[in-house]
Amino acid sequence: MTVVVPEDYHAKEALQKRNISCITREQALKQDIRALRIGILNIMPQAETYEYNLLFPLGRTLIQIEPVWIRLNTHLYKSTSHSHLDNLYVSMEKATEEKHLDGLIITGAPVEEIAFEEVSYWKEITEIMSFARDNIASTLGICWGGLALAKYIGIEKMRYEKKLFGIYEIKNIARDHEVTGELDDVFLCPQSRHSGIHDDVLEKEQEKGNINLLAHAPETGYVIFESSDKNFIMHLGHPEYNSQRLIKEYTRDKAKGRADVEEPVNFNVENPVNRWRSHSLEFFGQWIRYAYQKTPY
């Protein structure tokens, strides 16, 4: 249960308090084990405050993880500390210049209400996805990242009238799958999005052999699915979120006066209870295991 981070990493103490061992890259190189290099294309607002949400479940896996934080060349990162970006983040070219990536995560982004083609960094994202499909064992897209992967393989999103927001029961419909197979038959997972994909669209894509559907709920539609070549896995929820992240988003949206955002379903912002942590840990643990087994290196 180890992650490789800089000696002065801002979330090091918080991770250690949750029993995540933190070591430097120099210490990792001295160990008789190769850390799994997981690229993380982090395009969440205030990117540095989001990092912990991924490092916690990744750090709970049994395989040593070296996160490689990736930045876009065509994104301004208005809400993120540029000194933090300069110190920790690298371009995709730099991330893969000397060593391969064993896996890639594309995070959510606050642009899901905008057409993909209108997103300023869409061209760069498509180039990264194209590279990943041919050169990285498994790419995981979370929320908007999942929608972006779907768009790349020809599946368009739709915008909701109201934000899908809260904790929902999701049914595991692929009990023999390498990643989702050992998830609970029904598991809880946060949803926080203004867009999704019609069930009919995804079912037709499965009939055509383009995707495999993995998890579904009537209120959310299909939440987890993958490309038929198994190189892309899309999770439209936010399994990595903790309670405070949900509260923060609700407070932010209400402060903006958004009438299309209601209080999160099945979640009390005044008395928050995390009931999806086991799903988060199991999902990321199985994905890391899958990437480890699938990488040819």
Candidates 278, 115, 45, 46; CA nearest to 182 is 278
Q: Give the C-alpha distances (Å, rounded to integers) separating 85 from 8, 14, 41, 90.
A: 14, 20, 12, 8
Could you give the CA distance from residue 172 to residue 64 in angstroms, rounded to a whole number?
28
| Residue 216 is a catalytic residue | no
262, amino acid identity: E
Residue with tokens 């294309």: 41
Candidates 68, 71, 8; CA nearest to 36 is 68
| Residue 240 is a catalytic residue | yes
Residue with tokens 């899908």: 164
Could you give the CA distance from residue 158 to residue 177 in angstroms, rounded to a whole number?
27
| Residue 143 is a catalytic residue | yes
Could you give the CA distance from residue 157 to residue 268 in angstroms, rounded to a whole number?
29
Give the active site residue among 66, 112, 226, 240: 240
Give the active site residue among 51, 66, 143, 177: 143
What are the φ and ψ backbone dihedral angles of 283, each rounded to 5 degrees? Answer: -65, -50
- The catalytic residue positions are 143, 238, 240
